[in-house]
Structure 1
């Protein structure tokens, strides 16, 4: 028991070495005078601004003081709305394209033409179509999340073992039963990989949209504080986005570990910890 506890403690310390070294080096460099403190705030200064943004301690961040939860909630709502729509549509179309050659020939060429178009290039049209509100941000998040989910689902379906399908068909399985009980479970590892990529894209796109088309959220705070030369708040916004993206990915990763329990003894995931 004691050796197990020591191992877990070592793993936690090991994971914190790089962040601690970065923070210490950043603090020392910021205080060295190579750059003006206003241009590169030290981590301690960023933490003070962040604390006021979160808790409203002393009003140091002015209009942002105590508004962190409101800003994060606004951004998270856009992320999960766009991500949820992209997940549902991406899995549905991915299963259809991967399973049916007719659907693949009908739909995939159009999707492959649209896929290289950067989601940010849709911003002018999104503003024209949806105005300045949540809808353009949700639309951009959807665009950024959709294709990773779609392509990972197609890959998962197409790499399904044919022997499993033959065995299912021999026992009287209908195409719908084969899809539900063999193809979809076999595609889940690829689908979860796509979801992890998609959630990162979702956070990036919602921040981009909030800089241009929305007047609330973490991305808006980042861009607005830049105009007022509050780089401590800019960095606090960047760190907030990174943490929110990390937590979202962490949730998907652990959901995948729960759903894909059958992989634990046969893949390298068994060595993770």
Structure 2
């Protein structure tokens, strides 16, 4: 038996208000949206980051909070149903609405948010690329908190391993496993946020679509790397050649992100 770090048993319910439990999982979504909104407000209030030309304003970011929340929840759930467990939900359609039981797809949430942001940009008559850039600059905040919530629940644990920091997760059997939720929180959340933070400070917002492209490529690469340590969903398993659904869904993100970066670099930067 290798050395195993004790899994910190944390009650997935933070507090109960009467018969209503407030779970860490839900709190992570709420905190991610609120903190993302606050950082987005900071970004749009800094003209020096954008250069000349129209940019989203504070009122637009207020609307964005509502649009993004709907996009994340609806897109994330629909993506999970379609990509990860369609036969089950076809047999049990009412379970689609039981969000408290878990089951959200990042790629579905990302697509849903992209659609919601495009609708908002059209309604506001502003550049959809610039609005995408704001969203992508703040998304890693929510990803970080969401992965921490996955760890607390616990769910989406890693593959069996004998590394010194392995853990035995409740419900995952007796084998020590990678704490892959923490790997993802670090790569997809913290590291990606810092990369985008530096890119913004270096003028990335002056080239519409550049932050979006960096995010898509960065997330896709981080997710694929993390999938090598994460146990695949039991209803899917490995698809072919050791690939997982998370890997396959990340490949189009990297390709589209590369197109965004290429387009942005061919566009003349907006100068103050």
TM-score (norm. length: structure 2) = 0.29
Structure 1 or 2: more helix by fraction: 1
Larger Rg: 1
| Normalised TM-score (structure 1) | 0.29
